[in-house]
Amino acid sequence: MDGLPGKMTHSLQFRLSASLSLLIVVVGLVSGVLSFVLAFQDAIELQDDQLREVAALIFRQNLSQALVASNQGVADIDPEARIIVELLQKSAPPGAKGPLAGLPADLPDGMQTAIEQGVDWRVYVRTLASGTRIAVAQQTVVRDEIAMGSAMRGIIPFLALIPILVFTLVVLIQKMLKPLKKLAVELDQRGEDDLRQIPDTPMPSEIRPFAVAINRLLGRVAQSVAVQRRFVADAAHELRSPLTALSLQAEQLEATELPPPARERLAALRGGIMRARNLLEQLLSFARVQEVAMTAPQPVALLPVFTEVLEELMPLAETKALDLGVSDVPGSRVLAARPELKTLFKNLVENAIQHSPVNGRIDILVRRDQARTVVRIDDEGPGIAPEYHERVFDPFYRVPGNQALGSGLGLSIVKTIINRIGAEITLAYADPETKSGLRVEVSFPA
């Protein structure tokens, strides 16, 4: 089973984000390095131009006489820039001091680098009109420090822009892939019987072919399922006539004089015919509820539905002398299609009647639970063990040891309707202490 690294490796969003982020980082770093180098060189050239401008100023203002008069050079003319101006003389005066006092007098004119007293200097030498030669210099360390600061200020925007671009890229990719995730969530939340086409909403052109292919697949699956359901419905319908004929013939045969063994066999035959007819009715009902609902959901009052269901099932309940009671909340309504709601409760109540003992009791209770309406049906039958709560909703599944008549389709029909109307169903023991009786709770949304 893949862990987080495997999921990240197989994630298109992660791979896009990682690849483009790496590209942004590489391009940003290369651009930053180039910007740094160019800014550093520009700063060096600017400082060389400053040395030239100082020398030109001395030339234009004829400051050489002042330099000769002092004979000591002019140190730190600009303390902030640390620019040194020094006369180049073949023989330095006694006691001459200064950082450039030892510069050779035969330095050629122009920009150059010199080492004096173990310190690197950037020196610009120029010969004035009077023949005096001057050196305008600045320490290389100071120049590099200034150039470094200027270059760093130039690449700070690049360094700050990289994380902003990466973050923006990740957000944009998430936003662009959001329609795909939304579509996946919508499909994942559908029930197994929901084969509706994906709505033709605006979506990226790269996703549209997948949506079209999924719609075609859903169409083929829906067609195949419809053929199967139609076959079941047609087969059940076609079997109605011969079973009805068999039932009539059995009734006519019962009216004749028969020996006791033959009457026992006739009773067994009529019971088998009745079970087959019930199975056919359940198959038809199961095929109908699996079709797409044609009636739009609307608020339906529960009490009239219960009344109609009990009127149809009362003859079956009277054969066991069962006591059926309904406790309804005045004005209780649920949002559903009335035919489906009637089928839902008819199957639940009929299931309770079949599994209840003679002289038993069945209670139907309606209550409001926060924003939901809950219908509870309790019987006094054997109940269903918790390990079978999921299996009993499968078609034709019967709990081991269950001797009651039935086809195993009733709860499957109930589950199909529950999923369609967005309700929830839970099973439990009606009497947890003795672990007997079945309690069915159907919770309807507001």
In contact, 55 and 74? CB cutoff 8 Å: no
Domain spans, the chain: 192-292, 295-444
In contact, 396 and 408? CB cutoff 8 Å: yes
Q: How far is CA 288 from the centre of its chain?
A: 35
pLDDT tens digits, 223-241? 877 777 777 667 766 777 7
pLDDT of residue 293 exceeding 70, the answer is: no
Confidence of residue 73 (pLDDT cuts 50, 70, 90): very low
- Report percent pLDDT > 70 for the chain: 83
- What is the number of other CB atoms lying within 10 angstroms of the CB of residue 405? 11
In terms of CATH, what superfamily is 295-444? Histidine kinase-like ATPase, C-terminal domain (3.30.565.10)
Second-level CATH architecture of 192-292: Orthogonal Bundle (1.10)
**161-170, 276-285, 346-355, range with the lowest pLDDT:** 276-285
Reduced to 3 states (helix: H, G, I; strand: E, B; else coil), residue 343 is helix
In contact, 81 and 138? CB cutoff 8 Å: yes
pLDDT of residue 205 exceeding 50, the answer is: yes
> Mean pLDDT throughout 441-446?
86
> What local confidence, expressed as pLDDT, does residue 378 receive?
92
Mean pLDDT of the chain: 78
In the 3-class helix/strand/coil scheme, how is 143-185 assigned residue by residue? HHHHHHHHHHHHHHHHHHHHHHHHHHHHHHHHHHHHHHHHHHH
**Position with higher pLDDT, 124 vs 407:** 124
